[in-house]
Amino acid sequence: MKRLLTTAAIFATVALTAAGCGGSGGKSDSKTFEFWSFTNINQKGDVDVYTKAHPDVHVKLTEVGSTTETAQALTTALAGGKVPDLVLIQADDLPKFMQSPDNFVDLTTMGAGDIKGNYLDWVMAQSTTQDNKIIGVPTDVGGLAVAYRTDLFKAAGLPTDREEVAKLWPTWDDFINVGKTYVQKTGKPFVDNTPTSVFFQAVNQGSERYYSADRKLDYGNAQVKAAFDLTLKAFSAGISAKQGSFSTGWTAAMKKGDYAVVCSPSWMLSQMKTNAPETNGKWDIATIPGGSGNWGGSFLAIPKRAKNPKAAWNYISEMQSPKGQLDHFLMQGSLPTTPSVYTDPQLVGRTDPFFSNAPIGKIYTQSVLGIKPFYFGPQDGPIGTEFLNTLTSVEQGKVEPAKAWDTALTNVKNAIRG
């Protein structure tokens, strides 16, 4: 009996000690802070730069997972767990968090009001609440362009010079026609897939996306429909390799040259390099059909329960200054959100040997300068996913193109439960 009680007592103690540990965990001196990022964005490079400049500061960087997974982990943490001091949130995930701004530090209290003029105003607007609280500071925008394989273009008898290639496709219809020519000549698919490489680009080139300018849900509007129909057209033209972006097949086919074109926002460049290092020098970059646009981009935010918001803010203000963003671009290729550096000779003169020395700075800044900003709403993430999924189903032959639009609208309606 006594032993039994001892056993019970031990268990109780273990449980209680464990409970006690749960709350604290980790040191909280002013020089240490915890940073959650997603994979494939190379925040590690930034952190290394920062800790080199401030050897006394310790940044604990965690690459949680994909953008969505990072947002999910953040929600889980905000709901009742250990929160990071600093977190990277992708633009499409941000609106959901903007719904409950109380979970985050209002950065104007840290001095964000003084620096907000440094950033593209339409980007800054995404992380500013209606009562002018600033939740996040933008780290990059996703300027659009097309990456293409010069060797494969040459074999298909197409021009390989990026200026000439750009002239081939001022519009998306031209792009589809080039694709048809390529398929005719080579018998191989042209573009990696249409849902990502056509829809997600085209829908981000409009002046209105899933919400109207007065912040009302409007995902069935003419601009979205046009991007959707365009995607169906590209699919019907038979130019797609049907390799879903970021899948293992996509990576494998990229290595093997099983498609010649990927529409690649600026943040995708570093990913292509690590995915298919053996294709070094075989790619080049041309401007995207259909004009300027932006897909993606991210923000840094500080959760309210952060243990060391000051250290996190110091990091933001230093690394996301125009100079910091320029350095990040030069290192990694993500496009700055600070227009003051867009004319910087270092940015304009930046070329990338992996992409046949294409002037990536020049090409990508052009695509975001003429941008027509649209409102990002709380349901942007799920809506985009449903459109993408329906179009993927079309590529997989599971949804008839003629029924795709209606299917997509139904799926969106279900997903946002409205």
Partner 1 sequence: MLSPAAAAPHLRTPGRRRRVQQSVRERLAPYAYISPFFVLFLIFGLFPLLFTFYISLFDWNPIGEHRFVGLENFTELVHDPRFWGALRNTFSIWVLSTVPQLLLALGLAHLLNHARLRLATLFRMSVLVPYVTSVAATTIVFAQLFDRDYGMINWFLELLGFEHIDFTASLFGSHIMIATMIAWRWTGYNTLLYLASLQAVPRELYEAAAADGANGWKQFLHVSIPSLRPIIAFTVVTSTIGGLQVFTEPLLVNPVGGLTCGAARQCQTVTLYLYEQSFGQFHFGYGAAVGVALFVIVVAFSAFNYLLATRIRTERP
Partner 2 sequence: MKPGPATPAPTRGRRRHANRVPLASYVLLTLMGLISVFPLYWMFVVATTDSATATSLPPHLTPGGNFLHLAKLVFTIVPFVQSLLNSLIVATTIAVGQAVLCALAGFAFAKLSFPGRNTLFLIVVLTMTVPAQLAVVPQYLIISQFNWVDTLQAVIVPGLVSAFGIFWMRQHIGSSIDDELMHAARVDGATTWQIFWRIAFPLVRPAAFVLGLFTFVYAWNDFLWPFIVLKSPENYTVQIAIKALQQNRDIDLGLAMSGSFLATIPLLVLFVFVGRRLVQGIMEGAFKG
Is residue 154 close enough to count as binding partner 1 by CB under 8 A?
no
Give Cα 222 to chain centroid, integer Å.
25
Q: Which of 54, 57, 65, 257 binds partner 2 (CB under 8 A)?
A: 65
Which value, to the nearest 10 degrees, does the dihedral of the CA atoms of residues 378, 380, 382, 388 take?
A: 180
Is residue 18 close enough to count as binding partner 1 by CB under 8 A?
no
Mask: binding to partner 1, 219-258, rule CB under 8 A, as x and -?
Answer: ------------------------xxxxxxx--xx----x
Alpha-carbon gap, residue 368 to 372, rounded angstroms: 9
Site residues for partner 2, 21-60, by CB under 8 A, read 21-23, 25, 39-40
Count Cβ atoms within 10 A of the Cβ of residue 102 and give its class: 0-12 exposed, 13-18 middle, 19 or more buried: exposed
Mask: binding to partner 2, 247-266, rule CB under 8 A, as x and -?
Answer: xx--xx--x-----------
- Non-local (6+) Cβ contacts of 127 within 8 A are 94, 98, 134, 135, 136, 137, 138, 299, 301
Strand 32-37, strand 136-143: pairing: unpaired
- Non-local (6+) Cβ contacts of 51 within 8 A are 57, 58, 59
Pick one of partner 2, partner 1, none as the site partner of residue 382 (Cβ within 5 to 8 A by kind). partner 1
Alpha-carbon gap, residue 364 to 334, rounded angstroms: 9
Is residue 75 close enough to count as binding partner 2 by CB under 8 A?
no
Alpha-carbon gap, residue 32 to 85, rounded angstroms: 9
Nearer to partner 2, 60 or 225 (CB): 60
Q: Smallest distance, Å, CB 168 to partner 2? A: 30
Is residue 418 close enough to count as binding partner 2 by CB under 8 A?
no
Q: Smallest distance, Å, CB 171 to partner 2? A: 32
- Tokens describing residue 314: 């110091």
- Tokens describing residue 168: 């081939």
Q: Smallest distance, Å, CB 144 to partner 2? A: 21
Q: Which of 32, 275, 279, 366 binds partner 2 (CB under 8 A)?
A: 275
Q: Which of 79, 131, 216, 353 binds partner 1 (CB under 8 A)?
A: 79
Q: Are 386 and 399 in contact, with CB atoms under 8 Å apart?
A: no
Q: Smallest distance, Å, CB 167 to partner 1? A: 33
Q: What H or E segment, with its residue span, contains residue 164?
A: helix 162-168
φ, ψ for residue 324 (rounded to 5)?
-65, -40
Q: Smallest distance, Å, CB 162 to partner 1? A: 29
Is residue 79 close enough to count as binding partner 2 by CB under 8 A?
yes
Q: Measured between alpha carbons, how far is residue 415 from residues 199, 389, 394 in Å?
A: 19, 12, 19
Nearer to partner 1, 91 or 158 (CB): 91
3-class DSSP state for residue 316? helix
DSSP 56: T
Is residue 417 close enough to count as binding partner 2 by CB under 8 A?
no
- Tokens describing residue 110: 């840290």
Interface ranges with partner 2 (CB under 8 A): 1-4, 7, 11, 15, 18-19, 21-23, 25, 39-40, 62-66, 69, 73, 76-77, 79-82, 246-248, 251-252, 255, 271, 274-275
Interface ranges with partner 1 (CB under 8 A): 1, 4-5, 7-8, 11, 68, 72, 75-76, 78-80, 99-100, 103, 243-249, 252-253, 258, 382, 385, 388-393, 396-399, 410, 414, 417
